[in-house]
Amino acid sequence: MNKYKIKNICCIGAGYVGGPTMAVFAEHCKDIKITVSDINQSRINDWNNPDTNYLPIYEPDLDNLILKYRNKNLFFTTNIKDSIAEAEMIFLSVNTPTKEKGVGAGKASDLKWVEASARQIAEYAVGHTIVVEKSTLPVRTAKTIEKILFDSQKKENNNNKKNQTFSVLSNPEFLSEGSAINDLQNPDRVLIGGSDHIAIEALSDLYKNWVPNEKIIRTNIWSSELSKLTANAFLAQRISSINSISAICEATEADVRQVANAIGLDKRIGKEFLSAGPGFGGSCFQKDILNLVYLCEFYNLKEVAEYWEQVISLNNWQKDRISKLIVNTLFGTVSGKRIAVLGFSFKANTNDTRNSPSIKICKDLIEDGALLSIYDPKVSQSQIEKDLGIKCSDQFLESNSGTIYYERSIEKTAEDAHAILILTEWKEFFNINWDLLIEKMKRPAWIFDTRSIIKTNDAKKSGFNVWQIGNYCNSYL
């Protein structure tokens, strides 16, 4: 038991998962030194910035934890070598995006960052080290990690230098962005997979500082890896399901919110994750389903692969149909028309834009010649420029080729606009004063509410034509 006493933790990867997760560990494991290490110097500088407005990611309540524990028992560094060497437990929280080229391109996860981390651990670890997969990984990745570590262990032990031994566990993370701290503080469950039961209990003991034991599930390592992919696939499938129904609602005068409420009251279905929208975004749903599809194909399960692939096809179709609907509604073209875009992040309460449906929808409108004035409370101008592949213009010019403007308020975006397009459900978009806004706009003025958050009657009273996802209110057509 003693050989698994944890006094130092290292987390490799200071991203959306590594940073918040280790901040919560720091709060509940005060006698453990936690070091989050990353190869990205500027990211580490941001984590260490005394002004928490510059933290690399925005998450409600994250700044408080960082201020409380940074440089007490929580450290951010690029010194990966030392943080690995002193750790008895190492979390792998590196990125695992979809592979862009080579075998499996477009579907398989790119594991080069995981492999590189495993090799770093093999090089620098000393004594017994528990290596915990926190990243989302294809089933059987632990085999690759073990191969790298165990071969190193043999070599090192032959040279009798560092006395290396390893246990590998899977402990996938289920946090959602925007509510990461709350999710980490009050998880529905903690999943730990592995075969070394002492190592599993060493990790459970840390969680038990704040998570009741009955919420800590122990499984074999493959079930744990597969459960993470399956959870994301099921969640994404619900969104594609409700989005498919949103289209039927619009065609039949049903209201998708009423349908969602009616079906969600059935305990077997449940009410969460039934909000129709512009399609799911974020860094994980698409990549994890693609990964699942790749695995199915690898194991010759063609029908299963096709089944899950359809969740993504529907998601792409939803984004596509929204941009087409906007162009068609605005009399067949948006060329030279100013459109106020409210929200750019893939969901509220985060500055993350990875795979945001806003990117595809904005690109389609730019392609058609729209002038987009974009406002998001947390996403920076440079991020929007990077995602859309064009620079923001400073002056408002008459133009028929797609242009973007970065605005700092809802009111500014609306000036001379033909339409308001709501793409993210930020709180501040729920109760807009439509009377004031319409005064700044061209007529006829339109609202396209892809998140179903506004009170359509109020907007209509102010003189707007309103389209809302899954809601038959397009009587102007």
Q: Which stretch binds ligand UGA (CB under 6 A): 101-109, 163-171, 275-283, 315-323?
A: 275-283
Q: Which of residues 94-153 bind ligand UGA (CB under 6 A)?
A: 136
Q: How far apart are CA 139 and CA 420, in angstroms?
A: 44
Question: Is 88 within 8 Å of 4 (Cβ atoms)?
Answer: yes
Q: Which of 91, 280, 294, 406 binds ligand UGA (CB under 6 A)?
A: 280
Does 12 participate in binding ligand NAD (rule CB under 6 A)?
yes
User: For the range 197-204, what are the long-range contacts, defined as Cβ-Cβ under 8 Å and sequence gap of 24 or more?
Assistant: 198/1, 198/4, 198/167, 199/4, 199/130, 199/167, 199/169, 200/169, 201/4, 202/4, 202/5, 202/6, 202/89, 202/130, 203/89, 203/130, 203/132, 203/169, 203/171
Does 174 participate in binding ligand UGA (rule CB under 6 A)?
yes
Is 284 designated active site?
Answer: yes
Helix axes 221-252, 141-159, angle to 10 degrees: 150
Question: Is 425 within 8 Å of 344 (Cβ atoms)?
Answer: no
Q: How far apart are CA 390 and CA 382, in angstroms?
A: 10
Name the residue among 298, 179, 318 with its Cα closest to residue 250.
318
Record the tokens describing residue 137, joined without a space.
């990984």
Q: Which of residues 282-301 bind ligand NAD (CB under 6 A)?
A: 283-284
Q: Which residue has the tokens 């946090």?
A: 175
Nearer to ligand UGA, 276 or 388 (CB): 276
Q: Which of 226, 274, 311, 466 binds ligand UGA (CB under 6 A)?
A: 274
Record the tokens describing residue 154, joined without a space.
């043999």
Nearer to ligand UGA, 4 or 346 (CB): 346
Does 13 participate in binding ligand NAD (rule CB under 6 A)?
yes
Binding mask 81-110 for ligand NAD (x = CB under 6 A): ------------xxxx--------------
Name the residue among 362, 358, 467, 378 with its Cα closest to residue 423.
358
Distances (CA, A) of 177 to 127, 277, 349, 430: 35, 17, 8, 20
Q: Which does 34 bind (CB under 5 to 8 A by kind): ligand NAD, ligand UGA, none?
A: none
Does 175 participate in binding ligand UGA (rule CB under 6 A)?
yes
Q: Which of 48, 176, 219, 393 binds ligand UGA (CB under 6 A)?
A: 176
Q: Which does 43 bind (CB under 5 to 8 A by kind): ligand NAD, ligand UGA, none?
A: ligand NAD
- Label residue 446 exposed, middle or buried (CB < 10 Å: 0-12, 13-18, 19+): buried
Q: How far apart are CA 48 and CA 456, in angstroms?
A: 45
Task: For the CB of residue 57, give the shortest distance to ligand NAD in the complex, in Å.
Answer: 7
Does 177 participate in binding ligand UGA (rule CB under 6 A)?
yes
Does 273 participate in binding ligand UGA (rule CB under 6 A)?
yes
Q: Which of 10, 11, 249, 284 is catalytic?
A: 284
DSSP 4-15: G---EEEEE--S
Does 21 participate in binding ligand UGA (rule CB under 6 A)?
no
Strands 465-468 and 403-406: unpaired
Q: Which residues pair with 169 in a beta bridge?
A: 132
Task: For the CB of residue 228, give the shortest distance to ligand UGA in the complex, in Å.
Answer: 7
Q: Which stretch binds ligand NAD (CB under 6 A): 141-149, 172-180, 363-371, 434-442?
A: 172-180
Q: How far apart are CA 218 and CA 195, in angstroms?
A: 10
Q: Which does 40 bind (CB under 5 to 8 A by kind): ligand UGA, ligand NAD, none?
A: ligand NAD
Does 113 participate in binding ligand NAD (rule CB under 6 A)?
yes
Q: Which does 93 bind (CB under 5 to 8 A by kind): ligand UGA, ligand NAD, none?
A: ligand NAD
Interface positions with ligand UGA (CB under 6 A):
136, 173-177, 232, 235, 239, 273-275, 277, 280-282, 284-285, 346-347
Catalytic positions are 284
Interacting residue ranges for ligand NAD, rule: CB under 6 A: 12-18, 37-40, 43, 80, 93-96, 113, 116-117, 120, 135-136, 173, 175, 177, 283-284
